Structure formats: C-alpha cells, structure tokens
Amino acid sequence: MANQIKLGKSDLYVNPIGLGTNAVGGHNLYPNLNEETGKDLVRSAINNGINFIDTALLYGPGRSEELVGEVVKETGKRSELVIATKIAPIFGGEKMKIDNNPTFLKQEVEKSLKRLQTDYIDLMYIHYPDKVTPKDEAVGALQELKEQGKIRAIGVSNFTPDQLEEANKDGYVEVFQGEYNLLSRSAEETLFPYLIENNISFVPYFPLASGLLAGKYNKNAVFEDLRKDLPYFKGDVFKQNLEKVEEVRKIANAKGVEVAHLVLAWYLTSDAIDTIIPGAKSAEQVINNLKTLDVQLTNEEIQEIDQIFHK
C-alpha cells in the first residue's frame, strides 16, 4: 500500500484508496444485499491495508455503520483506521427529512458512536444541508464535539459552494464530499478553486459512476437499484457514456491495465483530491481496486482521458 496522505488540513492520514460502504448493509439503496458479503468486503479492505472507511447513517439506515463497527471491532485495528460517517437525515415519515440543527446534530453523533461501537469518529460529515440552519452554526456544533474528542475532523457533503463558504466561516471545515467523476465534472469549476485555496480535501463520491466507469456494462444492462434513477444510466446518455468508456478502454488496453484502475488513478492526479472511496459489492472488487496504486499516468494520458470526457 502506498504512503499515507494527510487529508487537507485535518490531522487524518489516509491511504489514497479508501472504501465506500453504501452497499454494506445499505438495504434501502440496493435490494438483496447480503450482510455477510458486506462484512467480508470491509474485512478484506482492512486486511489489505485500506484504512479509510466511509459510511453514513443513511445507508441502511444505520445498518452500514453497525456492520462496519462489528468488523472494525473484530479486527482489533480501530486505532489504525480512519472512519468517516455522515449525519443529518431523519427517518420515520414517508420522505427522508434533513436537519442541521446543532442540538440535533450532537444527538446524532452520539447515536453514530453507538452504532459504530467506538468512542470517537475520525471524520464526521453533515450529509446534506437543511434549508434553515445557518451553516456555520451547524459546523460549530461539530467543532464543540471535536474539542471534546468525540470527533477528529469535520466534513460537509452535498453543500452548494455558497453553503460551503458559510459553513467554513470560522475555518473549521476540513473535508468536502461531493459527487464527482469523469462523467460529472462541475465540481472542478464550482468547488475545487475554493477547496484548494482553503486546504479542504475533496472526497469524490460515485467515482466509478456507480459502476458504469468500471467498464463492464453494455447497452443491455438493466438496473433495479438506485441506478435506475441516476442520469448516467438513462436512455441515450447511457449509450453515449458507454461509448466514452470504450475510448478509455483503448488507453487501458495499450497500457495493460483495467478501465476502472485507469479512471481511479486519473482522479488521484487532481490537486483537490487526496483519496478516493470507490464502493464495492464484493471483497474481490475491493482488492481489485487496489491495483489502481500500480498505475502511473503520463501527462499525455491524463490529457487524453480528460479530452474523452470533454467532447
């Protein structure tokens, strides 16, 4: 495993390849998930040197945190791991609600600590912005918990650039998590300049566009999970995206690497990104994604990949 990298201005050191766990106990996102498979893939990640594990209350809800907590406990490696989770959603009614109220966030951190069976959370994100809470006050609540040692670093996710600036009024935001991949690049213009200037690390979610950029799907693929609602997988856009993947495949083949690794390695060349958190449905995928670390891209290849997705 490659050297660990400091995550923005936080005190967290992570490996460049982490693990996203929305398919570990995320029964509300993916039907028919097997929890033992989920635990096994987290175990494989930890045993193969991945130290950055991304979960959230939303996945399950709560079940992903519980399963991650069980495996972390079983491995006895808690102190070597950087566990990130996210709060703000409220479940119970028909539709998920979002709350950033400081008192509410503090209560939710306590619940996450219990589900994860830990007495500190390395990185706590506010998962989504609500419409009413001043964002610096929401982050202020997490800062208090940081001072008490309950969390080690503060993140926000899915905030607009204005909400991010408001959240970071006191300079407390250390990590931003947002949607970003070769098929969805608006963050490069809207967020990266501010993040780089303020030494806030950008953690992209959907780095493989939920599997599309791993290079194994064709136009006949049918999706019955969260992907049926994602624009990447809809109609003509899906077909055009598959054509772009085929162009990446030519570069991958010439280099003797897999499409997924080429794509993941490309993100790590960005100044805004320290680490990536590809999700996985199996231990094999987790181990396979670690091959990204063997891929060295030339400047020419970086440009070529860039161009494919700018057409």
Among all residues, which ones are annotated catalytic?
59
Please report, as residue ranges, which positions from 141 to 170 form the binding site for ligand NAP (by CB under 6 A).
157-158
Specify the residue, 25 or 146, whose C-beta has the smaller distance to ligand NAP.
Answer: 25
247 token code pair: 């162009």
Show the tokens assigned to 209.
Answer: 């566009």
In angstroms, give the least distance from the CB of 134 to ligand NAP. 21
Could you give the CA distance from residue 115 to residue 69 in angstroms, rounded to a whole number? 7
Binding track, positions 58-97, relative to ligand NAP; x by CB under 6 A = ----------------------------------------
- Give the rounded distance of the alpha carbon of 147 from its chain centre: 25
279 binds ligand NAP (CB under 6 A): yes
Name the residue whose CB lies closest to ligand NAP. 279
Q: Is residue 214 near ligand NAP by the rule CB under 6 A?
A: yes
**Gap between the Cα atoms of 200 and 59, Å rounded:** 25
At residue 262, φ and ψ (nearest 5 deg) are: -65, -45
- 3-state DSSP call for residue 167? helix
Q: Determine, following the binding rule CB under 6 A, whether residue 278 of this chain makes contact with ligand NAP.
A: yes
User: Cα 167 vs. chain centroid, distance in angstroms?
Assistant: 20
Give the type of residue at 130: D
Residue 44 makes contact with ligand NAP by CB under 6 A? no
- Residue 230: in which H helix or E strand, if any? none
Give yes or no for residue 280 binding ligand NAP (CB under 6 A): yes
With CB under 6 A as the contact rule, the residue among 288, 293, 302, 308 that binds ligand NAP is 288
Q: Binding residue for ligand NAP (CB under 6 A) from 51, 118, 133, 177?
A: 177
Give the binding range for ligand NAP (CB under 6 A) out of 8-16, 75-83, 265-273, 284-292: 284-292
Kindly provide the residue ranges of all beta strands, DSSP E only, lying in 194-261, ordered along the sequence: 201-205
List strands edge to edge, sheet with 121-126. Answer: 19-20, 52-54, 82-87, 121-126, 151-157, 175-179, 201-205
Q: Which is nearer to ligand NAP, 10 or 158 (CB)?
A: 158
User: Which stretches of the chain bind ligand NAP, using CB under 6 A?
Assistant: 20-23, 54, 157-158, 177, 205-211, 214, 216, 260, 277-281, 285, 288-289
